[in-house]
Amino acid sequence: MSIVKQTFILSTLLTLSCSTLAQAQGPYLDQTTIDRAVKPGDDFYAYANGGWLKANEIPASEASWGNWAILQKKTRLQLQELLQAIAAQKNQPGSDAQKLQDLYNSGMNTAVIDKLGVQPVQADLQRIDAISSPQGIATEVTTQYAAGLVGGTAPLFRLGHIADPIRNDVEIITLSQSGMGLPDKSYYAEASPKAVATRTQYVVYLQRLLELSGTPKDAAQANATAVMALETRLALGARTATENRNIRKLLNYYTLDKAQKQFPLLGFNSMFQQLSIPPAKIIVAQPEFFTGLHKELTATPLATWKDYLKVRLLNSAASALSMPFVEAQFAFYVTTLTGRTQMRPRSEQMVLVADGLLGEVLGKAYVEKYFTADAKKRIDELVQNVTTSFAERIQTNTWMTAPTKEKALQKLSTIRRKIAYPDKWRDYSALQIGPDYFSNIKAATVFAFRDGFNRVGKPVNRALWSMTPSTLNASYNPLNNEIMFPAGILLPPFFDPQADDAANYGGIATVIGHEISHGFDDQGSQFNEQGRYKNWWTSADKKNFTARGAALSKQFSQYVALDTLHVNGKLTLGENIGDLCGVTVAYQAFKKTAQGKGTQLIDGLTPDQRFFLSYAAIWRIKARDESMRTQVLTDPHSPARFRVNGPLSNIEAFYTAFNIKEGDKMWQPVSERVAIW
């Protein structure tokens, strides 16, 4: 139910879908963005984007600014216009339009919301106060799921579902670590002054939530400190984001009976029964976390657990409550962790709420107005061209043997493609939306929960979309062996039917290549063409592949993102493979176009120079230090500068295009350049 987009909260099980990131606008390769004081071979990112970076500031309402954020903002304003038009018209009761209308209008009615204060969750807080045994803690969590009160950081653990990674025939249940409000284990464990300061701010936030719900100041301070100590104990038994990339260690299959016996106080039997979750296999992603959690249920005083449940509930609800709650949450999760100081206008925030809760209703209106069939046809062609080049690269690969190549080609040829928007839209008829904002949020959360868990035990529905049509992102899902490109990324500067091929291949084709490469990165390569977790490699080929990944990981770990903070080469390996291979394969596809084969200069630039400058342009981004720090600590994507300089310093054609020589800072000895696909 969290509404503030807490993108730093890493989803627990299998960080499988990836997001690409960031962006530019305006005439293609507007050369005022270039900083000619920088040598392209010293820092290509700064060369390509320095002019723009020097001339622009990050708006107070944004954590970063650049092509990515600018396009997101533009799309948000288009959605806002659509929403406001729907909210102003007369709609049939029960229609999708009426739901959007009431959701928007109720959310905009801040006079009523502010007057209610904590009242929407008052009865829930009283119920928590009445808990009288450790068993009651898990019962409360079940009640919160049933009521649509669990959002953002789920209390205790996260209950989810997933296509069974081994058999890939039905949806099964997942139980994974959660319940900690800081973004990663390292935030609890590290002794650096920055980490200590963030923890202090976090306790201030917890205290504020308790005070706002009626706890006297002194007690609130002591209780917040006790909750923090509990969270820290849980965190020390949790895995880091990097550790959670080890898929094999996540796949611990349990029966309900075994989970119930091993963790009796968590009451999974009654939880599943009360939530009408069909009997199915369970994956307990981090069993040792559950062991620690189970121990704390009796080792930690019940009073602290009650405060813990309260702050989790209040945090989940905060963005839908009165302004003091909204401000408290913003102060920590946005200002402290990303450096943004100004909230976006409420009407713009409501776009994210509507996109999150009624995404395929709003998305349908969006594509009807803004997306053309022509664009879809052109993207289909680009996906085909990139796929063809990927196949050639597998065939001509020098480090892989024929049997593994055959399997790789089979996997490549069966990748499912989801482009722009779903063929069949989600049915929201069972969801009722009315005049009360908080009730609407709860109803939509319950609807989404039921929609998901009704699929447990049934064959996997591969037609569903995990992103809404207006989303500026793209993904690869190894469990479906599928790539997804929502309409929201099929826009300038990623893609423009009017632009030259160099711009489109340096833009959207590198993204397409990136997503396809995820099928063959260190994680995706562990799944076969049917989306099953199953080895299809010879051991010698796997060893070779792993060594190449390790070399890339080492390169990225040398990059310094901020003061002494290095990029985490292990956390970002999958994304870095995606970037390196994405650019490589998009370049190969570009070289088959008329422009790519030719030598014609445009504005004094060769076709290859335009390709690489277009690639650097999509990553043009200015980020606040706080946002950069959070990204480096939690995000599997490297910072934009290294998403450009890292891959390019391994690509021969880039060296040639900009005449990069030994002695230039990006120059690497041929023997140290990494090539994977």
Interacting residues with Zn ion (CB under 5 A):
18, 575, 578
What is the nearest approach in angstroms of Zn ion to the Cβ of residue 199? 30
- Pick 75 or 638: Cβ nearer Zn ion: 638
Question: Is 244 or 595 the residue whose CB approaches Zn ion more closely?
Answer: 244
Measured CA to CA, the distance from residue 656 to residue 677 in angstroms comes to 20
- Neighbouring CB atoms inside 10 A of 526's CB total 18
Min CB(518)–Zn ion separation in Å: 6
Distance between CA atoms of residues 223 and 307, nearest Å: 7
**Residue placing its CB nearer to Zn ion in the complex, 290 or 390:** 390
The least distance separating Zn ion from the CB of residue 619, rounded to whole angstroms, comes to: 13
Beta bridge partners of 330: none
Complex with Zn ion: residue 142 or 473, whichever CB lies closer: 473
For 372-492, strand residue ranges (E) read 416-420, 475-477, 482-486
Report the C-alpha gap between 94 and 87 in whole angstroms.
14
- Do residues 514 and 578 make contact, with C-beta atoms less than 8 angstroms apart? yes
The total number of residues written for the chain in this structure: 677
Rounded to the nearest whole angstrom, what is the least distance from the CB of residue 582 to Zn ion in the complex?
8
Query: Nearest approach, Cβ of 579 to Zn ion (angstroms)?
Result: 8
Give 447 or 476: the residue with its C-beta nearer to Zn ion.
Answer: 476
User: How far is C-alpha 201 from the chain's CA centre?
Assistant: 24
Taking the C-alpha atoms of residue 103 and residue 359, their distance in angstroms, rounded to an integer, is: 12
Kindly state the smallest distance separating residue 513's Cβ from Zn ion, in Å: 11
Q: By the 8 A CB rule, do 61 and 342 touch?
A: yes
**Residue nearer to Zn ion on the CB measure, 3 or 581:** 581
- Report whether 648 contacts 43 (CB < 8 A): no
Shortest distance, CB of residue 479 to Zn ion, whole angstroms? Answer: 15
Residue 13 vs 511, nearer CB to Zn ion: 511
CB of 638 to Zn ion, least distance (A): 11
**3-class SS of residue 145:** helix
- φ, ψ for residue 490 (rounded to 5)? -90, 50
* Least spacing, CB of residue 21 vs Zn ion, in Å: 8
594 in Cβ contact with 601 (< 8 Å): no
Q: What share of the chain is helix, strand, coil (3-state, %, to 5)?
A: 55, 10, 35
| Cβ distance to Zn ion smaller for residue 223 or 510 | 510
The answer to whether residues 569 and 518 touch, using CB atoms and an 8 Å cutoff, is no
Residue whose CB is less far from Zn ion, 364 or 641: 641
Tell me the DSSP string of 222-265: HHHHHHHHHHHHHHHTSPPTTGGG-HHHH--EE-HHHHHHHSGG
Cis omega (within 30 of 0) for bond into 493: yes
> Shortest gap between Cβ of 413 and Zn ion (angstroms)?
21
- Calculate Rg over the CA atoms of the chain: 25
- In 10 A of CB 292, how many CB atoms? 18
**Whether 114 contacts 320, CB under 8 Å:** no
Q: How would you class 425 by CB atoms within 10 Å of its CB: exposed for 0-12, middle for 13-18, buried for 19 or more? A: middle
Q: Work out how close the CB of 390 gets to Zn ion at its nearest, in angstroms, rounded to a whole number.
A: 15
Q: Strands 482-486, 475-477: parallel, antiparallel or unpaired by DSSP?
A: antiparallel
Q: Which residue is nearest to Zn ion (CB)?
A: 18
| Pairwise CA distance, residues 521 & 612, whole Å | 23
Say if CB 676 and CB 580 are below 8 A apart: yes
Q: In terms of CB distance, is 18 or 394 closer to Zn ion?
A: 18
How many other C-beta atoms are found inside a 10 Å radius of the C-beta of residue 115? Answer: 10
Shortest spacing between CB 650 and Zn ion, in angstroms: 17
Nearer to Zn ion, 15 or 286 (CB): 15
Closer Cβ to Zn ion, 512 or 623, answer by number: 512
Strands 416-420 and 482-486: parallel
**In the complex, minimum distance from the CB of residue 578 to Zn ion, in angstroms, rounded to a whole number:** 4
User: Which residue's CB is nearer to Zn ion, number 156 or number 474?
Assistant: 474
Q: Which CB, 18 or 228, lies closer to Zn ion?
A: 18
CB atoms within 10 A of CB 503: 27
Number of neighbours of residue 429 by Cβ within 10 angstroms: 9
To Zn ion, the closest distance from the beta carbon of 514 in angstroms equals 5
